[in-house]
Chains A and B, each alone.
Chain A
């Protein structure tokens, strides 16, 4: 019998017509609507009542019928009237125009529309009324907003320029540009390769040491070791003519306790001064550790507070004050009481002299409140005090100058932009320490000096084009020195490539304001081939670098720096005087001279190919001048790069990048944890079915490399055969000792020489020992023998070494790709077929697969006989926390043996990998176990020594790669 189906009938309500048949007794009970799914239609027929009374039954149903009628006639609150209409009666924009509804529904629709209009007013929370855009964009308010926004992460001086063009990232308590929003990777590479790339490295921290040379050297000798290369006492750097790079360690703990790399620069000896000055430039991630070590070795226990801000460190709790957070400027400005916001906070008015910068001292109001020092609230913003001069953002300048001018006239203006403290130290921390014992003064100059980096062969051309030696001198400068520096600077024009100069030379210079010579249009600086320069001078410059006395600069004097920063002409004033020029477009006369330091940085110094790639110049400026130099540099056609390009720069150079490739440093460990979180988040963002199953790929650690476990396992593996297993908790280190690296490099390089020379006769020639070696009579490094390898393994048991890998054929190594040991058959395979792509890893089985997942639930496989080894997640399914932690496709924390997990033994992991534009093939930088490497090298035949396998975490394909170690 065909069942009658009503329109709009819910699916779970069926009208059973079976009741109509005779013989079912109480037809009224069976007939009609029955709720629920009833497969046979007779679900309830068993317990029927014997009789019913019609009147009761009808009464009981009457209420239901009424409710149903009511519900059908008037739509529910949530649904619109027209949604009850059948489709053919619906019209476009019915909700907008009630006349499109049928007449009978119009009234209800109007009522509903009225209600929905009224509703938001009653229910919505009152939105805090923001000021109008016009008010918000007013300069003073904009600056207030800027100051508030950089409370957590400090902005660079070029922040606003960058923020318009770059993806910004908050890291190391700075807001640093990451990558440009425009597509520019290749263009940036080309700029590095043939022209110049500009970066703002102002976030690098500078620590200044001042004291007698002996004392400083004696103290700092504990932080470095000669085996890793340069120390602070390197002769070429000690004169101040060169900048040096070294590796810092914790005091007296050389092989362990690595801190990270640092650049250092000595101030050239002044004829009459006995004290030396030393700048140590550090990455912000390692600053705190280095600073505490420096304080230790220099025995500087005393924090000296500067006179201008004596109570800077007495109120560390200051920042916690709620009002202070909401109104950063209100209590810092004497004129805050005129500010509309300040009225809401009476204590801001009471302590206007919390503002203690020198300009405030000049302010007449500041002296009227002598009790301010005693009042704790006056110091709620100690970081405001530490920056004595208002560090005006270039774009913020007009307001700053206006305020100054108005104040002179006794008036007040909007608050000026001020850069508060810096993020690398807690608010209120001292910036200067002194030692009564060693008489060394340590100062924290973070953000005091702006540092720009130009990378590329034409960096010097851009500099000579942008900077003009000052026409008038700074006070206290030597006239003849300025002449010599100018002369040396002019000689740079005759140099064809930055790489020709000796590495790390330093040139001090005093230059005019570069905004005065800003070109009308942005162009591209190219060297002028017709330029005639004195050949002898240029030759001398290339041979010996900048003479030591020319490295002197008044940028080293704090007073000069402050003075120059203070006297900076604002953009507004500059533009005004430009518009007042008699001949439009003619050059303005300069009014200010800026001391700068030009520091050359050598590119790739070690290794065979691409030597001197990536060299360039660093430009050090007094603070506040960042934008004044930035825009003119950009107008010379340089590309601007961000953090991402710095990583790529060091990758193309084949150098480790801090903190990515320093897993043994505290900063590197922190970076790894951050990276792990980031990668895990990224992994979890994908839908589960689209995630890589790393277990199936045999990748144990896709997010974080277990270096410690790797070194321990390799040590165990190698020493098992020698029966000298030792168990202790020595942490792993990265081998940086030059002698051993050189030895290893010689062992590996044997094969590379064969590959580099194409034609057979030459190969035979080059197979003989190195010509320089024989000629100069040095004993060559010991050949690779089991004894030599064992000695090395014994000495550096838990060491990693940093190597470069180049893929022989195609393939693009990714982050955390595995470096594996090829088996003999793999090598044989390569020997027979030089273009073979490499072996395959057999697919692993995922024992951690979720048992509840229906797709994989197979009754045959879920029986208890299923092998359940290495299955911590399933062994205790009752533990909810554990189940929570286990992520599908990722190996849970207690990792099995990492070395022998796959079919090829794992040596290490890639820390940076990409297609290298410089070499035209996939290149990776990896850290591998020293023990494992020597073990591998011993087993490999001589002509295939140093061949390893590389496998990406999300792939089963191994690729052959040649290892190389540059020293």
Chain B
């Protein structure tokens, strides 16, 4: 995924950063450096037929895993977040193609709230470390054999 940490700063005074805070108000950042650390997206309780697609594992391996799951389950759920949406769709379509139309797809999209920690470079004077939330899109594709 994207860069996990990079110095974030708003050292340009005429262009103050406005960050959304959890309270809903907006916060003006001081001209000081923060380190951005992204927290992991929320894990959801996982059933056996859930597949969470990522960008690190080999595409073929993920496809094979889904194929294998379809042998035992009538339906599987493929989830992709952010950058992995593309790949999730790709996997689902590949599955459908290779099944010669036996499989059907049902896609849902959603928004996932992600949390970033902003750690001040200078922890003594900076005040509290900031936390901000941002949203990212996700897709959940149900791949299933239709009932006869």
Contacts and interface: CB of A to CB of B under 8 A. Distances in A.
B39 A612 contact: yes
Contact of B8 (A544, A611, A772): A772
A507 interface: no
Contacts of B39: 499-500, 502, 612
Contacts, number: 90
A64 interface: no
Nearest to A967: B5
A607 B128 contact: no
B3 A772 contact: yes
Interface string B1-34: 0111111111110010100001000000000010
A496 B128 contact: no
B4 A742 contact: no
Contacts of A771: 2-3
Contacts of B124: 226, 231, 233-235
A236 B9 contact: no
A236 B123 contact: yes
Contacts of A497: 40, 43
A235 B4 contact: no
Contacts of B44: 496
A527 B42 CA distance: 14
A509 to B, nearest CB: 24
Contacts of A687: none
Interface in A457-473: 457
Contacts of B131: 502, 543-544
Contacts of A742: 7
A731 interface: no
Contacts of A606: 5
Interface stretch (A85-93, A386-394, A773-781): A773-781
A770 interface: yes
Nearest to A742: B7
Contacts of A770: 3, 6
Contact of B22 (A229, A544, A612, A779): A544
A496 B42 contact: yes
Given A773-B6, A778-B11, A778-B33, A235 B127 contact: yes
Interface string A577-612: 000000000000000000000000000011111011
Interface string A474-499: 00000000000000000000001101
Interface string B44-62: 1101000000001000000
Interface in A221-253: 226, 229-231, 233-236
Contacts of B128: 235-236
A527 B45 contact: yes
Interface of A is mostly: loop
Contacts of A235: 123-129
A542 interface: yes
Contacts of A539: 113
Contact of A234 (B12, B43, B123): B123
A605 B3 contact: no
Contacts of A231: 123-124
A608 B36 CA distance: 12
Contact of A542 (B7, B11, B47, B115): B115
Nearest to B5: A606
Contacts of A543: 22, 115, 131, 133
A234 B39 CA distance: 21
A776 B19 CA distance: 11
Contacts of A542: 42, 115
Interface residues of B, number: 40
Contacts of A229: 123
Contacts of A778: 7-9, 11, 33
A271 interface: no
A776 B4 contact: no
B75 interface: no
B60 to A, nearest CB: 12
Contacts of B37: 605
Interface in A188-230: 226, 229-230
A496 B4 contact: no
A529 interface: yes
A856 B38 CA distance: 63
A496 B125 CA distance: 34
A777 B18 CA distance: 13
Contact of A611 (B7, B40, B125, B129): B40
A499 B11 contact: no
A499 B2 CA distance: 19
Given A235-B124, A236-B123, A500-B39, A777 B4 contact: no
Interface in A748-781: 770-773, 776-779
B127 to A, nearest CB: 6
A742 B43 CA distance: 30
A527 B43 CA distance: 12
A235 B12 CA distance: 25
A229 B119 CA distance: 11
B38 A611 contact: yes
A365 to B, nearest CB: 57
Contacts of A226: 122-124
Contacts of B3: 608, 770-772
A529 B42 contact: no
A539 B44 CA distance: 13
Nearest to A607: B4
B5 A776 contact: no
Given A229-B123, A497-B40, A236 B6 contact: no
Contacts of A503: 117
B45 A772 contact: no
B5 A777 contact: no
Nearest to B29: A776
Contacts of A607: 4
A502 B117 contact: yes
A236 to B, nearest CB: 5
B40 A777 contact: no
Interface in A502-551: 502-503, 527, 529, 539, 542-544
Contacts of A777: 9-12, 15
A742 B6 CA distance: 9
B118 to A, nearest CB: 11
B45 A496 contact: yes
B2, B7, B115 — which one has the most chain A CB atoms within 10 A of its CB?
Answer: B7
Interface in B103-122: 113, 115, 117, 121-122
A236 B4 CA distance: 22
Nearest to A224: B124
A565 B60 CA distance: 58
Contacts of B8: 772, 776, 778
Given A236-B128, A502-B117, A772 B43 contact: no
B129 A236 contact: yes
A779 B15 CA distance: 14
B40 A500 contact: yes
A231 B129 CA distance: 14
Contacts of B122: 226
Contacts of B2: 771-772
Contacts of A527: 45
B80 to A, nearest CB: 16
Nearest to A539: B113
A611 B36 CA distance: 13
Given A236-B128, A776-B10, A611 B43 contact: no
Contacts of B11: 777-779
A612 B40 contact: yes
Contacts of A611: 4, 38, 40
Given A612-B40, A771-B3, A778-B33, 11 more contacts: A230-B123, A234-B123, A235-B125, A496-B45, A500-B39, A500-B43, A543-B22, A738-B121, A742-B7, A772-B2, A778-B9
17 contacts: A226-B123, A230-B123, A233-B123, A233-B124, A235-B125, A235-B126, A236-B128, A457-B43, A496-B43, A502-B39, A502-B131, A544-B22, A611-B4, A611-B40, A612-B40, A778-B7, A778-B9
In order of increasing CB-CB distance, the 7 nearest A-B pairs are A529-B45, A234-B123, A496-B43, A778-B9, A772-B6, A233-B124, A776-B8
